[in-house]
């Protein structure tokens, strides 16, 4: 099985030992505490589940700057984005060596992790700007990822963490949320050797479905892991339970039995385009996938990134040998009226745009809201029905 990055085995930071978990929970009651940002809580969940192996906790400012500038910490460990615990104020924790981190996304702000404080550093405006530029390729405050990153505080608390729970993800998505440990175990139980992962924050229409079939066929994969983002999205994105229901219906009807795992992970979307594509590949290797689909404008938003920037970054910026996972580079995929099947556009050179069934997201949402199913060349009717019911319920 493919090894995790930078380690022979996964290093989940969740405390699985029940006695140790109970002792830490009790310890947390007496510790100074700070309510962390949603982004930091998502990072804690990902570290807890082993997705960020071999990280042991939140980075120092030097490590974060190194990851932003050249995708490496000061020790040379590859990681594509800063993983910081940024807070507004450290007054409540003073010079404490152990602190409780409270979850901003759950009522009552329960303790999500305990952190051993190795350093507290103030991030300057210039450092914040440099990290923003490197990771997001823009400092435009209208960019949702830029806005979220810069809305955190400027005090960076670095040090290892011990994770006590998986926030709301395990309780709200018990059938879908999975740690990297659990996905690896399930891949092994299936006996799959070649596994391709598909990232989604949206429901899957016919083109996405066919892209997964293409990747499986061309790569000779035994299995597909559809891995959906369960964390915070931007306004207007479809809620996770609706996506989950639509994807499960598609898999049930249009994929062979026991060939697909429908799973999800707890993390807030960065919308960082190329850098986020590398991060997505990073934790897909850690969860046991051998291949990862990167499509056109992967993890992008608006017009901030070129259509294939999220593919070329793997050749241009990722250090040689940093990851073993292989990237399946996909073009925009759509139904060809000429060939009467879904095609990658680059593989149909004799086609014009008019030869494909192309609908904008806005147009599709309008149709669904009016109770009109998109054409079957665009979306499976059973999937469209679930989405129509949702859109009509909010109109």
Q: Kindly list the catalytic residues.
A: 201-202
DSSP per-residue codes, 78-141: B-SS----EES--TTTTT-SEEEEEPTTSTT--EEEEEE--EEEEPPHHHHHHHHHHHHS---T
Can you say whether residue 234 is alpha, beta or left, with left for phi > 0 and alpha for psi between -120 and 50 degrees?
Answer: beta
- Residues 6 or more apart from 123 whose CB is under 8 A from it? 61, 84, 86, 154, 155, 156
Query: Residue 47: which of 320, 314, 325, 282 has the closest Cα?
Result: 282
Do 31 and 98 form a contact (C-beta atoms < 8 A)? Answer: yes
Peptide bond into 196 cis (omega under 30): no
HSE-up (13 A, CA, CB side) for residue 216: 18
Do 111 and 103 form a contact (C-beta atoms < 8 A)? Answer: yes
Angle between helices 274-286 and 309-316 (to 10 degrees): 70
């Amino acid at each position: 099985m493919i090894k995790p990055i930078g380690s022979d085995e996964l290093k989940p930071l969740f405390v699985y030992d029940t006695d140790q978990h109970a002792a830490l929970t009790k310890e947390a009651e007496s510790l100074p505490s700070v309510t962390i940002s949603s982004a930091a809580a998502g990072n804690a969940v990902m570290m807890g589940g082993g997705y960020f192996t071999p990280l042991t906790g939140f980075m120092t400012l030097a490590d974060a700057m190194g990851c932003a500038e050249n995708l490496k910490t000061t020790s040379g460990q590859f990681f594509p984005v800063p993983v910081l615990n940024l807070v507004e104020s450290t007054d409540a924790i003073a010079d404490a060596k152990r602190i409780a981190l409270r979850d901003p996304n759950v009522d009552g702000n329960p303790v999500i992790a305990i952190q051993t404080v190795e350093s507290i550093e103030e991030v300057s405006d210039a450092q914040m700007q440099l990290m923003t530029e490197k990771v997001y390729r823009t400092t435009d405050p209208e960019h949702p990822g830029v806005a979220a990153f810069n809305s955190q505080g400027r005090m960076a608390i670095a040090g290892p963490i011990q994770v006590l729970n998986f926030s709301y993800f395990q309780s709200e998505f018990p059938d879908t949320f999975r740690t990297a440990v659990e996905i690896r175990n399930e891949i092994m139980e299936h006996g799959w050797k070649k596994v391709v992962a598909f990232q989604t924050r949206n429901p899957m229409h016919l083109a996405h479905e066919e892209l997964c079939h293409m990747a499986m066929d061309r790569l000779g994969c035994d299995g597909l892991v559809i891995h959906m983002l369960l964390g915070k999205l931007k306004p207007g994105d479809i809620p996770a339970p609706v996506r989950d229901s639509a994807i499960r219906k598609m898999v049930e009807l249009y994929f062979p039995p026991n060939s697909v795992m429908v799973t999800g992970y707890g993390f807030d979307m960065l919308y960082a385009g190329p850098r986020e594509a590398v991060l997505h590949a990073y934790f897909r290797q850690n969860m046991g996938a051998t291949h990862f689909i990167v499509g056109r404008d992967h993890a992008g938003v608006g017009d901030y990134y070129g259509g294939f920037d999220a593919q070329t970054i793997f050749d241009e910026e990722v250090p040689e040998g940093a990851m073993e996972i292989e990237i399946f580079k996909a073009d925009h995929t759509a139904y060809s009226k000429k060939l009467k099947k879904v095609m990658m556009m680059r593989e149909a050179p004799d086609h014009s745009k008019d030869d494909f069934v192309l609908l904008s997201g806005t147009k599709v949402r309008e149709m669904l809201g009016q109770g009109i199913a998109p054409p079957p060349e665009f979306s499976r009717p059973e999937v469209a029905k679930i989405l129509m019911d949702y859109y009509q319920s909010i109109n």
